Amino acid sequence: MRPLFPGLTVKIIGREILAGVTLIAISIPLNIGYAQIAGLPPTAGLYALIVPTIVYAVLVSSRQLVASPDAAAAALVASSVGGLAAAGSQSYVAMALAQAIICGLLLAAMSVLKLGFLANFLSKPILVGFVGGLALDILVSQVAKMLGIRIDSGGEFVEKIHQLFAHLGAVHGWSLLISVAAVLILLVGRRLAPVIPWALMVMVLTTLVTVLTGATQAGVAVLGEVPAGPPAITWPMLTWDKWLALVPSAIALTMVTASEGLLLSRAYGEKRRYPTHPNRDLLAFGAANIAAGASGAFTMGSSTSRTAAMDQAGSRTQLPSLVLAVGTLLLLLFGTSLLADIPMPAIGAIVGVAVLPLLGVADFRKLWRLDRFEFAVGAVCFLSTLFIGSIAGILVAFVLALVNLARRAARPAIDVLSADGDPTDSLLDGTPNRVTTAPGLLVIRMAAPLFFANGDVFVQSAKRAVKAAGEAGELRHLVLDLEAVTDIDVTSAESFEGLKGWLAEQNISLGFSRVRLSARPRLERFGIIADELVYPTNRAAVAALSTKENGEPLG
């Protein structure tokens, strides 16, 4: 029977509980800020740390991954639900909960159907661009909060920028002072003593300053009263058309959650040498999101920063998540009065500093250095998310993923082989200098399945090689090594028919070697290997055709 928390022993239980206390200190201020980004009450962020966190910790295969609403999910909620209901209204809250439930059902379905591989369609450049665009949009809202300026946080990015600059003359001095102090404490403190929960320290210190100096009377905005009590089990009451309207944004949230969550889970599993199971992790995310929607929270994702903090604290189990849930519940039962005077500029500073790494500046710099096309993919995704919207951004991401996939598939390795099967030249970058493997014989290998994107590329490459071989000497036989051809479609089969006809006109015979047993029925059905000779290896083809040239029958 699987233990509740794999890896947990009596020897490390003290360390795990201490890591859980650190997790409480990190999570509470961040989740309050993320709830505000999403346009929801602070309790929505705190409720996410109780029932959904427990459900996730019990089900997940990863021993370290921390689940929570994050900045990207909060921004997606605000941009998608904000277009369907007024922020702060009962309808808005109900739709955010429903969105989490739909997201949970989709993640659970992916788990049951073993569709975790779909998350791989969001490559690193696409994720960097998409999350970076959301992060910059969030940052503008937080800067406004830090300056004491009121802007429409649910508006478009350009509109937010316009409002921010239009109101720069109304910057609130006390708010700016609190923000600058908070940012300095966060940045300098993190360098000097990274193990200290500086976000909590900032929240406590700025709250004390606000209360003792009477900054509220001077115009500094504060969080306000937070309702006490545990989360209640609920269900969003919406009409079917509103549920359906939330499906596109829920799909976007599902793919981002699955991509980031599975990538992070696998990375830490490999780093700390314990097994992870992607489909079980998807089920854990799905159940956590359903629990979130049913307990007053919003969409759950994976937290990169909190997972890294737990790893640095020496945590190797999910026990800290349980400690987090208990600590948050105690806060909601007995300590909500402590939250009322937290200054909004401090929350803006905490969230702003937290999302800075999500801008992906270092990642974009690396992409520029390694691959300009990949950089362009990330940049287009970044700009689409920023200027068109988050849902449009995820659609652009999928299109870019397909374009990138087709681009790579359309340029497979196509090589001239020696009799031993070793490549001697590549045919993609022009005509090779050395094209014959034996007198009168040419062997070519296609190192990918044949389909509509690369069928004509292969045919044209083969023709170039045949022409080059003909110039070097008389060519009488062409053998195609099909070891890597696992499939073929109708379009590439038609291109192949054209090659066979062209070879016949050149009086060049065609043969095949190393045809896969699994692919042969399909190749025969499409007429690719109808009457041609099939050899077990390239060496057999060379030997047989050389024997034929001497006038002896083939064996």
Judge if 349 and 424 occupy the same domain. Answer: no
23 in a structural domain: yes
**Is the pLDDT reported for residue 431 higher than 60?**
no
**Is the pLDDT reported for residue 424 higher than 60?**
no
Judge if 338 and 256 occupy the same domain. Answer: yes
Overall domain count for the chain: 2
**Mean pLDDT along residues 246-256:** 90
Cα–Cα dist 355/351, whole Å: 6
**Is the pLDDT reported for residue 434 higher than 50?**
no
Please write the tens of the pLDDT for every residue from 184-242. 999 999 888 887 888 888 989 999 999 999 888 888 999 988 999 999 999 999 999 99
Please write the tens of the pLDDT for every residue from 88-110. 889 999 999 999 999 999 999 99
Compute CA distances 3 → 9, 20, 59, 273, 348, whole Å.
11, 19, 11, 18, 40
What band does 437 get if pLDDT is binned at 50, 70 and 90? Answer: low
**Is the pLDDT reported for residue 554 higher than 60?**
no
261 in a structural domain: yes
| pTM across the whole model | 0.76
Judge if 353 and 419 occupy the same domain. Answer: no
**Is the pLDDT reported for residue 427 higher than 80?**
no
What phi-psi label fits residue 188: left (phi over 0), alpha (psi between -120 and 50 degrees) or beta?
Answer: alpha
**Mean pLDDT along residues 531-555:** 62
401 in a structural domain: no
What CATH number did the domain enclosing 440 receive?
3.30.750.24
Strand partners, 477: 441, 509
Judge if 348 and 418 occupy the same domain. Answer: no
The predicted structure's pLDDT at residue 416: 79
Judge if 130 and 57 occupy the same domain. Answer: yes
Judge if 327 and 440 occupy the same domain. Answer: no
Residue 510: give the domain boundaries.
Answer: 414-549
405 in a structural domain: no
The predicted structure's pLDDT at residue 60: 94
Tell me how crowded residue 236 is: count the other CB atoms within 10 A of its CB: 21
540 in a structural domain: yes
Higher-confidence residue of 542 and 8: namely 8
What phi-psi label fits residue 360: left (phi over 0), alpha (psi between -120 and 50 degrees) or beta?
Answer: left
Cα–Cα dist 347/169, whole Å: 22
The predicted structure's pLDDT at residue 488: 85
Please write the tens of the pLDDT for every residue from 484-506. 888 888 888 888 888 888 998 88
Judge if 342 and 420 occupy the same domain. Answer: no
394 in a structural domain: no
Last residue of a domain, one of 317, 337, 357: 357
158 in a structural domain: yes
Judge if 340 and 453 occupy the same domain. Answer: no
Last residue of a domain, one of 357, 378, 400: 357
The predicted structure's pLDDT at residue 425: 54
Q: Could you tell me the end-to-end alpha-carbon distance of the chain, in angstroms, rounded to an integer?
A: 60
Last residue of a domain, one of 326, 357, 388: 357
What band does 53 get if pLDDT is binned at 50, 70 and 90? Answer: very high
408 in a structural domain: no
Cα–Cα dist 355/190, whole Å: 15
The predicted structure's pLDDT at residue 124: 82
Judge if 331 and 441 occupy the same domain. Answer: no
Judge if 255 and 350 occupy the same domain. Answer: yes
Task: Please answer whether residues 102 and 246 qualify as being in contact, where contact means their C-beta atoms are separated by less than 8 angstroms.
Answer: yes
**Mean pLDDT along residues 452-465:** 86
Judge if 325 and 428 occupy the same domain. Answer: no
Judge if 226 and 309 occupy the same domain. Answer: yes
